Amino acid sequence: MTDLVARARPFALLVLTGAGLVGGLILTLVGRPDAAAWVWAVPAVVVGIRLAWSIVRDLIAGKAGVDVIAVLAIAGALALRELFAASVIAVMLATGEALESYAEGRAHRELTALLGRAPNDVRRYRDGELDVCPIGEVRVGDRLLVRPGEVVPVDGVVRGDPAVLDESALTGESRLVNREEGDTVSSGVVNAGGPFDLQAIATADASTYAGIVRLVEEAGQAKAPFVRLADRYALYFVPLTLGMAGLAWILSGDPTRALAVLVVATPCPLLLAAPIAIVAGISRAARRGVIVKGGGPLEALARARVLLFDKTGTLTAGRPHLATVEAPDGDPDEVLRLAAALEQASPHVLAAAIVHAARRRDLTLSLPVDVVETPGGGVAGTVEGRAVAVGSAGFVAGEDGLPTWARELRRRAVMEGSSNVFVRIDGRIAGALILDDPIRPETPRAVRSLRRAGFARIIMVTGDHHAVAELVGAAIGLDGVLADRAPADKVDAVRTERDIAGGPLVMVGDGINDAPALAVADVGVAMGARGATASSEAADIVITVDRLDRLAEAVRIARHSRSIAVQSVIAGMGMSLVAMVLAAFGFLPVVAGALLQEAIDVAVILNALRALRGGTERPIIVPGWADTGGRLMTEHRTLAPGIARLRVVADHLDTMGPAEARDALVGVRSFLVETLVPHEEEEDREVYPLLASAIGTDDATAALHRTHTEIFHLVRLFGRIVDEIGTDGPTIDDRTDVQRALYGLDAIVRLHMAQEEELYASIDPDVSAELTLRAA
């Protein structure tokens, strides 16, 4: 209520002064000049007293205000009996204050919205009944009811009926998401479906949204260095104005010249335009899921030219992903099913990835029994009456050692930076699971966008081995790779690169081990969607959505906002100084000066509000992409096991018997002809035209279309080779031709999928979804 009154006060003052100005004019026209003088004078006195009290409060607080110019202007107009001018000055000042209030409200709108959404009460189950209690009383394990349209109060797990959620407040993306029984839900999202039960896994203070609210509160407290510099210059503006006014009076002998200088003098470009532009940038970044902790980090981000990235969880997905299932003598799906069934009993991070991959393939997982886990080795137990062991090579193979195919696989995994988990079934090594940490689909585009935004040097600093780090760095086009770095080494790397750069440096990370480097950097950026609290607390900027390309957006917003702030100050103060000179020489009367002063204020504030839009790259917008893109990515994941099978068959073809080899090749051909080719044809026929239309040219999709042509050619070639294989199986020459075709298909299909996923990731799902909703 207090905030509402405070926001309404400037507009009430504008109504009062405006009514006084208009009322005085009417009284003058009807021949009541004395009454008109009082009607003009009273609002001017009210405004003058209010400004004088503001000056006193500033002085008590140890701050020097520039409102003294406005007070002197009103007092001078009243003293010189320029009552109409005094009324006009009062109206102009009230208009400026109202405009400032409006502009600050616009600039703070997204930040205020985040703070205002925090719930105060919850509905909690107690003894079979539902009661309402303050959110601060919620404890871990409490079961809550979240009604339609309500904000999820604490982090929790869905219980009972599934939930349909709007996560746009946290992610900036307007797509609705479904959360099933057992799925984790972050506080701050909105229930967009029916009521559902939530079991709390954190208290309100420890939940996601509370952390974001704390970050937002910090964002509004610190001034940018440029804004602090503007404040200092505004103080110099007071003696400059008084000196110019006094000089004009002395040289001309006309006190109205001094009054005209005071009236036209405005420090508004310094005091209002700069902070409004900076805060508008902070607010705009918040709308895209990037919380900037104040104007200082925003300005430093705008000036930075060197960028350091951590690897895991920043440039890469940060969680293991099952890439391949190798089963030379069996069914890969069966090997995965038994391994995942056993891994259900393990808390290991790789176990979760294996179970997740099996469920994505709709494999039925039985509950294991007699489970024994060896730390650092693996887990063993019984699944459906079969003895299963999953773990490292030493744990699974024991004293027998690994077979030849397994040794080759392990060597290849080490070279490629992947993890390998072996599977033993009934005493025999039946297969292996290859897991990797894939590069984020949006990472290459984000790096290119950051270069276009002005970063001259982009480096990766990671604790991973040099070979793995070099592979990732080369894949995304970085300028340098610093590998095998402990947390203390990362701090040293930040300091060294900053000394070389000679300017602000940005460090991006997501884990606890990144926190020291984030704290030392000029701008620390935490990928806070899953990152540790320590990194989020140490960082100056927190990206709350799990997308690296939002960093490039934040950089462009920061540079756009700072550019507008500088532009507003230079142009506004230039116009103000010119007007003061004109007034001092008598070319600008008092009333005209007041109107010009207000025009300058309005111009610079409206210009500052331009920071709320523009400055970013034009997004690729495809109506309906929120659904289409999700479907295509799901299809890619479905195709992954079949694509991985190409290389597995090629690797083991020489060790297969004739009948086994023919069956394997027929199975691969079936996958290619019946699954892969129809998928690629559909993309060529339906998806690529949509993308070409959205981009404005078919240049981007032409290369992908050419790759399709090559894939179709290799599939036809492979099919002809398989058709020519007799019942006795492939000959030595056949095997060579088949392996050549399979290796070629494996390489080109993997590259093609990566290119497509990078392009798909560049499409803005938020805007595309919004356009689809509008069309509906």
- Helix, strand, coil share of the chain (percent; to 5): 60, 15, 25
pLDDT of 257 higher than 70: yes
**pLDDT bracket for residue 614 (50, 70, 90):** confident
CA-atom Rg of the chain in angstroms: 34
- Tens digit of each residue's pLDDT (9 = 90 or more) over 510-535: 766 677 888 888 888 988 654 445 56
The answer to whether residues 391 and 377 touch, using CB atoms and an 8 Å cutoff, is yes
Q: Across-strand partners of 156?
A: 185, 200
Over residues 726-737, the mean pLDDT reads 81
Helices (H), 502-547: 515-520, 533-538
CB atoms within 10 A of CB 231: 18
Report the C-alpha dihedral over residues 180, 184, 190, 195, rounded to 10 degrees. Answer: 50
From 67, 310, 540, 651, active-site residue? 310
**pLDDT bracket for residue 771 (50, 70, 90):** very low
User: CA 540 to CA 546: how far, in whole Å?
Assistant: 17
Look up residue 523 and give its DSSP letter.
E
Total residues belonging to the chain: 776
Average pLDDT, the chain: 81
Helices (H), 379-532: 393-397, 404-416, 443-452, 466-476, 487-501, 515-520
Nearest alpha carbon to residue 504 among 314, 299, 310: 299
Burial grade of 20 (CB within 10 A; 0-12, 13-18, 19 or more): buried
Nearest alpha carbon to residue 677 among 632, 639, 631, 704: 639
Nearest alpha carbon to residue 645 among 415, 336, 349: 336
CB atoms within 10 A of CB 427: 10
Q: Cα(first)–Cα(last) distance of the chain, in Å?
A: 38
Look up residue 132 and give its DSSP letter.
E
Which residues have a Cβ under 8 Å from the Cβ of 436 and sit 6 or more positions away?
320, 321, 323, 416, 417, 418, 419
Burial grade of 687 (CB within 10 A; 0-12, 13-18, 19 or more): buried
CB atoms within 10 A of CB 575: 19
| 3-state SS assignment for residue 62 | coil
- Tens digit of each residue's pLDDT (9 = 90 or more) over 290-308: 888 877 888 889 999 999 9
**DSSP letters spanning 349-407:** HHHHHHHHHHHHTT---PPPEEEEEETTTEEEEEETTEEEEEE-HHHHHGGG---HHHH
Report the C-alpha dihedral over residues 554, 560, 563, 567, rounded to 10 degrees. Answer: -140
Report pLDDT for 167: 72
User: CA 540 to CA 549: how far, in whole Å?
Assistant: 18
* pTM (2 d.p.): 0.71
Structure tokens at 302: 């705008």
Question: What SS3 string covers 568-626?
Answer: HHHHHHHHHHHHHHHHHCCCCCHHHHHHHHHHHHHHHHHHHHHHHCCCCCCCECCCCHH
Nearest alpha carbon to residue 525 among 502, 552, 543, 513: 543
**pLDDT bracket for residue 557 (50, 70, 90):** very high
Over residues 113-129, the mean pLDDT reads 75
User: CA 263 to CA 698: how far, in whole Å?
Assistant: 59
User: CA 291 to CA 285: how far, in whole Å?
Assistant: 7
Q: Which helix (H) or strand (E) holds 549?
A: helix 549-584
pLDDT of 581 higher than 70: yes
pLDDT of 365 higher than 70: yes
The answer to whether residues 27 and 36 touch, using CB atoms and an 8 Å cutoff, is yes
The answer to whether residues 460 and 479 touch, using CB atoms and an 8 Å cutoff, is no
Report pLDDT for 338: 93
Report pLDDT for 728: 77
User: CA 350 to CA 264: how far, in whole Å?
Assistant: 70
- Share of residues in the chain with pLDDT > 90 (%): 10
Which residues have a Cβ under 8 Å from the Cβ of 542 and sit 6 or more positions away?
212, 215, 290, 291, 293, 525, 526, 528, 536
Task: Name the residue type at position 264.
Answer: V
Over residues 722-738, the mean pLDDT reads 82
Over residues 421-429, the mean pLDDT reads 90
Is-catalytic flag, 728? no
